[in-house]
Amino acid sequence: MTPQIQKLVIWGGFFFVILLICFSGCGSYNNMVTKDENVSAQWHNVEVAYQRRMDLIPNLVNTVQGYANFEKSTIVAVTEARASVGQVKIDPSHLDEASLKNFQQAQGNLGSALSRLLVVAEKYPELKANTNFLDLQTQLEGTENRIAEQRREFNLAAQDLNTYIRTFPRNIWAGLFGIQKRAYFESDEAAAKAPTVKFDTK
């Protein structure tokens, strides 16, 4: 093999490796973007489900306020917890453990306040028979189920992205492209779910 041919082989091999690296980087980047966008989309679904619960609360509060001697502290707790949730802002592209923990804590406090309100409502026979209240209770129960489902879907999407970017050589590309690991919702979903209270309307 002549020196000229040897040079051509070396340069050909060099360019082949470069092409492989480029194709690997482009393919990994496109997949990362797709998975990252899926996480953001699932986060949007989570927010929609939680917003549905937020939207039900004013009607729920107005309904129970119409009954004499209903515990004012319970209503205040729900109202304040709802306001606290509204102050928590999340950037879906930077869902780290700290920000998600703050979000969960605020939503958990609201869930607990709603739970107390429903328990107190058992003391009011007229309220338990109120059609509007019963309808709101049904909607709230359905909303909590949607919240749990959307949290689960978000965790699956985040796990898919996190697993993908941790494998070699994708972990290198993820670092170069700034694709970051996403945090998960804690496994104990009951912390953000108001328990179902069944009223005996007899």
Specify the CATH number of the domain 3-192: 1.20.1440.20
Q: Degrees (nearest 5) of the Cα angle 173, 176, 177?
A: 85
Would you state the pLDDT for residue 43?
95
The Cα 156–Cα 72 span in angstroms is 41
Q: Where are the domains of the chain?
A: 3-192
What pLDDT does residue 19 have?
A: 62
**Per-residue pLDDT at 21:** 64
Per-residue tens of pLDDT for the chain, all 202 residues = 677 777 666 776 666 667 666 656 676 788 888 999 999 999 999 999 999 999 999 999 999 888 867 888 999 999 999 999 989 988 887 788 899 999 999 999 999 999 999 999 888 888 888 899 999 999 999 999 999 999 999 999 999 999 999 988 888 878 888 888 999 998 654 444 444 444 444 4
pTM: 0.79
Question: Which pairs from 26-30 meet CB under 8 Å and 24+ separation?
Answer: 28/169, 28/170, 28/173, 28/174, 29/173, 29/177
